[in-house]
Chain A
Amino acid sequence: MKKILLIITILFTFFTSYSQKGIIRGQVTDKTTGETLIGATMLVVGSDPMIATITDYDGNYSLEDVPEGTHSIQCTYVSYEKQIVSSVEVKSKNVTIIDIALLPETQDIGEVNIVASAIQNTENSLLTIQKKSITLLNGVSSQTFSRMGDSDAASAMKRVTGVSVEGGKYIFVRGLSDRYSKITLNGAEIPGLDPSKNTVQLDMFSTNIIDNIVVQKTFSPNLPASFAGGYVNISTKSFPTKFTLQFSTSLGYNPQTSLNDNFLTFENGSLAWLGINDGSMDIPAAAENGIPALYQNNNELDRISATFNKNMTAERKTSFFNHSHSFSIGNQVKFLGKPLGFIFDLSYSREFKSYDNGEYARYNLVGGDNGITGIISPLIIENEELGEEEIITSALLGISYKLTPLHKIGLSIIRSGGGLTQTRVREGYKSTDNMFMFENTLGFQERVLNALQLNGNHVFGENNQFEADWTSSISKSILNEPDLRFFNYDSITGGEYEISYNAYPAPTRFYRDLNEMNFDNKINFSWQMEKIKFRAGASYTYKDRNSKSTQFSILSQGLEFTGSAEDYLSDENIGQNADGVTYGVYYQNDVTTDQYNSYNAFEHIAAGYAMLDFKLSTLIDVQTGVRYEYDYTFVENERNPTQYKYVKASKKYFYDFLPAVNVNYLAGQNMNVRFAYSRTLGRPAFREIAPYAYYDFKEGWRVVGNPDLERSVIDNIDLRWENFMENGQIISVSVFAKYFTKPIELVDDPRASNFELHYVNADNSFLYGIELEVRKNLGFINLPKFMFGGNFTFLKSQVRYVEDYGSSSLSVNRPMYGQSPWVVNFYMNYDNQEKGISSNLAFNVDGPKLSVVTKGSTPDVYQEAYPALNFNISKKIAQHFSVKASVSNILDAKNKKTYTYDSEKYISQEFNLGRTYSISVKYLID
């Protein structure tokens, strides 16, 4: 805390050290292409001594020490028309922002004169990037987050064309699962936190620290090749052009959850409100070095068994309001005579979710063999209750320093944290054992990402024709899942309670710790020649992951269970001295299982590329090149000298050459037709190639790694037509197709007695689709303050996989896992700048997608379409204050997972989370 105060003090000192004069800052771009212009001359007309500067690497300029008053500024650049902006108001100690768009020189006009007030930067800067980019991309900016009220990167991503979000964490771009998305933070690789995946959980990033998220849908050789759906780059806020200070706070009320006296939770330690495990949920010290088996050392066994806490079932407490707070400060100051920009940002949010009327069921197809219609018979049908509390915290410090206008270095320090407390209770009938089940699951999860990134941009050469940029990033993430508790019991109809070890797992406590370190370095060069731009670069990424898990079963011999976990686990029931039983409660730990669930892994990826950008004609831009990637992956289960089941797997790929061609045809002044072909890769996650089976306690199935698994090769083709109109309006249509050679899919092995999933290379899969995007101002029907937008994606995919298991064969012909056949987003914005009112209505829905692959001929479980409608309105109430009211999840639709058989639907899971009403206040100096 002291450190934070110190930093704030330093930051304030910076912005108070102003002179008595003002500053004019802005950016110079090419009006037709949107490209920033380096080296344009800016000058304050008639100043004496002359105040002048040139634009830097980013096209930015800063005219300093401008006396208070009204000025004209002039911008000149070779082969562009000179532009003079008049009536520029400069106030003492203030920064006036003037962005300039230059027109290429023509014969007729030599000079453009504009009045400063007419310059309005309404065009979404991302659209400009989208327009000028030769690759296909879409994005969302901070502007959009605040309009839509999205609080984390995952929810913000839903607004992007062709993107759907799975489980609130993972993004599916064009229906392709998280495996085929690459996520980077400021261009650098960061570790993922899912033990079985290779991807980044996007809900970790508060939108508060994000400037924009860009999704690149076609590959170009300067990008990492391991994506097929999209390359997603999250850019954190860069330093502002002038002093900004922001504080905001919001309070949310959900009638179903907030202030609910029956909110399900459990004792999760004193720091859970910060998303941190205070240590009280750790493995008891006595049990850390293992537990003796029953009858080996009973005194020791009993001593250790007694040290575990006895909170194994859910409690009911009163929940609070959802609330979130954020603070940020930024400025551009002189440091050692050079411009230094910084931003410092802190945010905290706490959200509660609950339902008490959920349903959960598992079904089984009976007698549906040989073409005869069978029946769907329940295995278990339960009522489900959930209480969930999620904390997301983030801190960001970004510093950028311009050594010269053409040399810039930056530093970002980021910490994102998340804490999730989940309490689930299920009660219902289990037909397979004719018993009423009572299931308690208590879980706490702490996630942390720490990243330190250093980067630089440099421009060289007489005509600024050489550019270089580099990034060096080190990041570490931690997933700590202490004491995940499962306590199940049953009662036979009309009978007494019991714990039946044979029907379901004994009470269990599960602990998991996952650490991953990523070290990512890259350097890119470009050489702009007369007609051709040559680019080349190299990168080296090293990942190191360590995952450790420990599992304890709670057993007893002949001890009666009366329906209360507390009584059952009470001190008098522990161990050999428990009254009148063979053996009281004792804990057991399976060393081998823990070692199979614990692994170390690393991966080296070294890459290099070369590419060319050139004009084939005045209307056709071409970008082509090739990337080479070397990959070495290694995984081993936890090595123990006394352990005899040591296994490891390693894979090396030496010859991955990945070509790409992107062509852009300027079909009109603001119209592009693009074509792209590329070859990319899909790599398996560490765990997927590890040659051993592990039991996923959370999911209730066994997963078997496959050392023969190969990375997939994907051929991608894209075609897009797009038309940009003024004020950020756009219409675009894309069609695309992807062919996967050896895609990695998860299938169940029909030979297993219990549900067992295997990673396999399917023979191939094929995916194709169409995307539409419209953004239209309603000025044409006399509603100029309204902007309508929408995007629609329609997809189809098919996986082909055939494997022989003895005499019968398993053939899979189904959509790719998690792929929605369609994704729809709509929104309507209202902006009234005079009255300071803006409002937004947003709708999002995606079609049914494969959610659970079932065993045998039982139909698979699909997540049904879930329509979500959010509304918000904000009003400026004073110079620096604004208030915002919003309602989210207005439709409060049921979240449903179903089986469909013989056109009947059977619910596998159903719940709804209720509407949330929130109000927020924001103080902003900008």
Chain B
Amino acid sequence: MKLKFLFLSLLMFAGVAMFTSCEEEVVVNKNATVYQDNGNGTVTIIDKGEGTGTTTLTANKTWILEGFVYVNDGQTLTIEAGTLIKGKSGTAENASALIVARGGKINAVGTAAKPIVLTGEADNYEGTGVDKMAKGLWGGLIILGKATTNNSTSEKAIEGIPTSETRGLFGGTNDADNSGTIKYVSIRHGGTDIGEGNEINGLTLGAVGSGTVIEYLEVISNQDDGVEFFGGCPQLKNIVVAYCGDDSYDYDEGFHGKGQFWLTVQGDDSDRCGEHDGGPSDNQTGTPYSMPEIYNVTYIGNALKKVITFRENAGGTYANSIFVNQLKGIDIEYLQDANAALVQSTYKMFQDGNLKIKNNVFYNVVAVSTTADKLFTISVPKDANGDNLYSVPSALKTAFADYFATAGNSILPTDPGVSATNPVPTTAQTGNMASYPSTFFETVTYKGAFGASNWASGWTLLY
């Protein structure tokens, strides 16, 4: 009897509906942002999750960023003219950076006389605190918006920030998105390593919309790229990028913005003046294609690298520009399938008229006396020995080289007089101008970023 009871109760025990439940607790310290007054005129900002709030950073204090400081969705951060902001030293997740999250706004309006300066902790407003060439002392400025990209997912995390930090996500559907106004801002000595072979760019623009105003901005001595665009369609005028450790201007992920009056001055360890990709490597041919319109640039190379690489289905327009002093010219990627047929790639973009390089002048690129086929080249994937996996049909090579002249590009026989110390050509490059397409562009009669005067003088560390 006892046994039967035991058996039965056991069966009942086992037969109880096998419901399960779980209790869990997750704590991530998430408190108000700390504005810690250090008493010596400096205020340290520590963001524990709530962002800067809608506030003003005044010029009478020095503001020190500790770690990633975000302007959260719905917040507006105003920075007065003449304000000094410093990033604490650190690498990886400890890197300091100012990040304007989607829906957040930055109003950083300086003047030529009183620019806003963002630099490393050891530096000062005048820029004499550290070596002019010192790089990677802090992070950089990151602006994230809601415009379109060609990523496989409509939102993506910006480089170096894990997806678990949702304030690091960018992308959306509003190309007119407005992340605020940036004028007369100098970003110095940034680009610290944030792990995985990533550094923070001087200015990172992730899916920033056309409502955002960015003018008179300098990025100098950044460890990574000067300005990098990830999709979106911001419109940038009067930009200086100098002595950066990687590419000067970099675009990817379906960037379709506009640019005019861009200058770069490269240092010995700089890479390309322009690195231009169409889409992320896992979605190169996604839409919208990368097809920005860029007019009036002056790219002064270091005689070691390339002027521009277009690859991963990049398109775009470069017109009325000056390219000087570089080892290699402009290089576009050609990809073919197993049947040696051209697939959607930058070369296809060129064929379809989605890549235009027109009415530009070249001096001392490759060599003082060079030929179009050396300036306009094609690259293909390579094997372990660096040998090409396949060769480009010669007709296609010729077609691209011939395009140099038909698109109104020319090789200058004499020095236009553009150098690192003087970006204003001593011989103005006028005539044979491409016409300007939209209201954003200022119609000028000269090539390159500068007419008769140096607009970068006075408010930059460079000049």
Contact = CB atoms under 8 A, between A and B. Distances in A.
Interface stretch (B20-28, B73-81, B105-113): B20-28
B345 A366 contact: yes
B28 A428 contact: no
Contact of B154 (A296, A502, A648, A806): A806
A127 to B, nearest CB: 31
Interface string A738-780: 0000000000011111101010000000000000000000000
B366 to A, nearest CB: 14
B385 interface: yes
A655 B91 contact: no
Give the interface size bracket for B toward A: 35 or more
A29 B78 CA distance: 87
Contact of A295 (B137, B198, B268, B384): B137
B281 A364 contact: yes
Central interface residue in B129, B157, B281, by most chain A CB within 10 Å: B281
Nearest to A626: B14
A495 B26 CA distance: 52
Nearest to A904: B338
Chain B interface helix/strand/loop/mixed:
loop
Contact of B24 (A493, A505, A588, A649): A649
A710 interface: yes
B90 A751 contact: no
Given A296-B121, A752-B162, A593 B28 contact: no
Contact of B343 (A366, A555, A713): A366
A593 B67 CA distance: 12
A905 interface: no
Given A295-B120, A553-B193, A588-B91, A655 B137 contact: no
A805 B155 contact: yes
Given A626-B14, A649-B26, A806-B154, A375 B89 contact: no
A647 B14 CA distance: 38
A366 B284 contact: yes
B373 interface: no
Given A557-B134, A582-B131, A651 B381 contact: no
B335 interface: yes
A679 B162 contact: no
A432 B336 CA distance: 17
B70 to A, nearest CB: 14
B134 A583 contact: yes
A53 B162 CA distance: 71
B245 A501 contact: yes
B156 A359 contact: no
Contacts of A650: 24-26
Contact of B246 (A502, A610, A754): A502
A501 B200 CA distance: 11
Contacts of B22: 651-654, 710-711
A375 B344 contact: no
Interface in B305-344: 312-313, 335-338, 343-344
A117 interface: no
A591 interface: yes
B197 A858 contact: no
Nearest to B93: A592
Interface string A496-528: 001011111110000000000000000000000
Interface in A373-397: 373-375, 377-379, 381-383
B169 to A, nearest CB: 7
Interface in B284-300: 284-286
Interface string B12-36: 0111101111111111110000000
Contacts of A752: 156-157, 162-163
A624 B199 contact: no
A369 B386 CA distance: 28
A621 to B, nearest CB: 15
Contacts of A648: 25-27
B104 interface: no
B379 A293 contact: no
Contacts of B157: 749, 751-753, 756
B92 A592 contact: yes
B126 interface: no
Contacts of B89: 293-296
B121 to A, nearest CB: 7
Contacts of A713: 20
A60 to B, nearest CB: 32
A655 B21 contact: yes
Contacts of A375: 335-338, 343
Interface string B115-138: 000001110000001110111110
Nearest to B283: A856
B94 A624 contact: no
Give the interface size bracket for A toward B: 35 or more
A695 interface: yes
A8 to B, nearest CB: 51
Contacts of B91: 553, 588-590, 593
B387 to A, nearest CB: 8
A377 B16 CA distance: 56
Contacts of A500: 271
Contacts of A428: 384-385
A856 B23 contact: no
Contacts of A431: 381-382
Interface in B233-291: 245-246, 268-269, 271, 280-286
A367 B159 contact: no
B56 interface: no
A890 to B, nearest CB: 30
Interface stretch (B3-11, B404-412, B435-443, B446-454): B3-11
Nearest to B46: A644
Nearest to B120: A295
B221 to A, nearest CB: 9
Nearest to B132: A582
B382 A429 contact: yes
Interface string A24-39: 0000000000000000
A134 interface: no
B5 to A, nearest CB: 12
A704 B162 contact: yes
B171 interface: yes
Given A653-B20, A654-B23, A704-B163, A695 B3 contact: no
Contacts of A532: 3, 7
Contacts of A751: 151, 153, 155-157, 163, 169
Contacts of B336: 375
B351 interface: no
B391 interface: no
B343 A590 contact: no
Contacts of B193: 501, 505-506, 553, 555, 588
Contact of B13 (A366, A379, A610): A610
B352 interface: no
A657 B162 CA distance: 37
Given A377-B335, A656-B20, A691 B164 contact: yes
Contacts of A826: none
Interface of A: 293-296, 359, 361, 364-367, 369, 373-375, 377-379, 381-383, 428-429, 431-432, 434, 436, 493, 495, 498, 500-506, 529, 532, 534, 553, 555, 557-558, 582-583, 588-593, 596, 610-612, 624-626, 644-657, 659, 679, 691-693, 695, 700, 702, 704, 707-708, 710-711, 713, 749-754, 756, 758, 805-808, 855-858, 902, 904
14 contacts: A366-B285, A429-B385, A495-B304, A502-B197, A502-B224, A611-B10, A652-B24, A654-B23, A707-B24, A750-B152, A751-B163, A753-B280, A806-B155, A807-B154
Interface of B: 3, 6-7, 10-11, 13-16, 18-29, 46, 48, 67, 88-95, 120-122, 129-131, 133-137, 151-160, 162-164, 169, 171, 193, 195-199, 223-225, 245-246, 268-269, 271, 280-286, 304, 312-313, 335-338, 343-345, 379, 381-386, 389
Cβ-closest 9 pairs across A and B: A856-B282, A293-B89, A295-B122, A693-B162, A806-B154, A592-B94, A381-B384, A590-B92, A502-B246
